[in-house]
Amino acid sequence: MSSERTLRVGLIGAGGIGRTHLASYDRVREAQIVAIVDINEEVARAAALQVGAQVFRSVEQMLEQVELDAVDICTPPAFHLEVALPAIERGLHVLCEKPLAHHPDAARQMVRAAEQRGVYLMTAFCHRFHPPVVALKRLIDAGDLGEVVMFRNRFAGPFPGVEERWFSDKEVAGGGVLMDTSVHSIDLFRFLVGEVARVQAVVRRTNPAIGEVEDTAIALLSTSDQRMGVIEASWVLAAGFNVIEVYGTQGAAMVHYWDGFRSRYKTHRMDDWQPLEEVGPDRFVGELQHFVDACLGRTPLLVTGYDGLRAVEIVYEAYAAAGSQ
Ligand SMILES: NC(=O)c1ccc[n+]([C@@H]2O[C@H](COP(=O)([O-])OP(=O)(O)OC[C@H]3O[C@@H](n4cnc5c(N)ncnc54)[C@H](O)[C@@H]3O)[C@@H](O)[C@H]2O)c1
């Protein structure tokens, strides 16, 4: 660790979410992106210009030439394992974008390698850090909603051009909308309700150009004591709500995304809905700050590689239940 206690981070993959992370590090305390790797050198150079980082063509080159404390993996899922392992072997902490891997076996290898080397592996489940979700988790933990009985999470909308991108290539993505989008929802269910004991699912391919993967899915999750959740996801719907709903024996709460509605909650003691708000940074800054704080020993790591592995395992159980893999 550098003497000024600044975490030196290497960014691997500077595409869409890589650039979101890069912009967010600006607002993260005690971290600096010092190196960037992307197999597309132009992409890496453009990103590096923003932060004055060194550019590399391969992870191995970067690891040989730069002193780092951690890496932040933002490549497509099928490459997460191959770029994580050399970093873990060098004793670096790893933040890895969701899904942790394209297949449970690869995710398991990552978790095992990090455990054996004694480094942190965090799965980038950004929604846990969305300020209204932070407030919702606090309400649940305080018992304000009573026993949580039902959960619903809908992340659906249009994804123009998905058929041209790796998201619809099963080899690279590991699946379709369930693997890409519902992996967040599964993690939210585990975070807010409890461990998943049973999975049922229905999947559909609406856009024939999309190839092998599903673009629409519903999964039904339940815990061992029959608390239940519905997860809805699609890439082909023109409009609709993106929402997390939690219903308990003494109250309910709703977190809205991108639709102009306010996140709100109501308990049996209240006459009307109240705003569900939390002052704090946006979910990407919150997620990165948590990783940095954990690596610097300031907080225990709260979102682990195991959480990422469980979510990928549950996605695979959903595919099996839907008869689609
Ligand atoms: N948390 C979120 O909200 C969120 C949003 C979007 C994407 N993601 C996840 O982030 C990851 C990346 O998605 P994206 O949308 O940024 O994809 P993208 O295609 O926009 O970017 C991926 C980048 O990785 C580079 N790359 C590919 N293989 C590489 C390798 N072996 N080494 C180095 N660089 C490599 C590509 O050249 C590209 O620049 C995926 O796992 C995706 O599911 C998460």
Task: Inform me whether the pLDDT recorded for 2 exceeds 50.
Answer: no
Cα(289) to ligand 1 centroid in Å equals 20
pLDDT computed for residue 325 by the predictor: 64
Q: Look at residue 108 and give its three-state secondary structure.
A: helix
CATH number of the 7-126+287-302 domain: 3.40.50.720
List every span in the chain annotated with CATH 3.30.360.10.
129-281+310-322
Mean pLDDT check: name the lowest of 72-81, 113-122, 125-134, 253-262: 253-262
CATH (one of 1.10.10.10, 3.40.50.300, 3.30.360.10, 3.10.129.10) for 129-281+310-322 = 3.30.360.10
Rounded to an integer, the average pLDDT of 20-44 is: 97
Q: Which whole number is the average pLDDT over 89-113? A: 98
Is residue 319 a contact partner of residue 175, using CB atoms and an 8 Å limit? yes
Going through 4-80 in order, the beta strands assigned E by DSSP cover 7-12, 31-37, 54-56, 70-73
Which atom of ligand 1 is closest in space to residue 180's alpha carbon?
43
Cα(292) to centroid(ligand 1), Å = 20
| pLDDT tens per residue, range 170-221 | 999 999 999 999 999 999 999 999 999 999 999 999 999 998 999 999 999 9
Closest CA to 38 of 53, 26, 23: 53
Are 251 and 265 in contact by the 8 Å Cβ rule? The answer is yes
Place of tokens 């060194």: 54
- Residue 3: is its pLDDT beyond 70? no
Per-residue pLDDT, 278: 81
**Residue 8 pLDDT exceeds 70:** yes
Alpha-carbon span 325 to 319, nearest angstrom: 6
76 CB within 6 A, ligand 1? yes
- 287-302 pLDDT per residue, tens: 999 999 999 999 999 9
Q: What is the pLDDT of residue 146?
A: 98
Positions of CATH 3.40.50.720 in the chain: 7-126+287-302
Which atom of ligand 1 is least distant from the CA of 184?
1
Ligand 1, from 11, 17, 180, 183: best to mutate by most atoms within 8 Å of Cβ? 17
User: Could you report the per-residue pLDDT of 152-176, keeping only the tens digit for each?
Assistant: 999 999 999 999 999 999 999 999 9
Tell me the whole-structure pTM to 2 decimals: 0.97
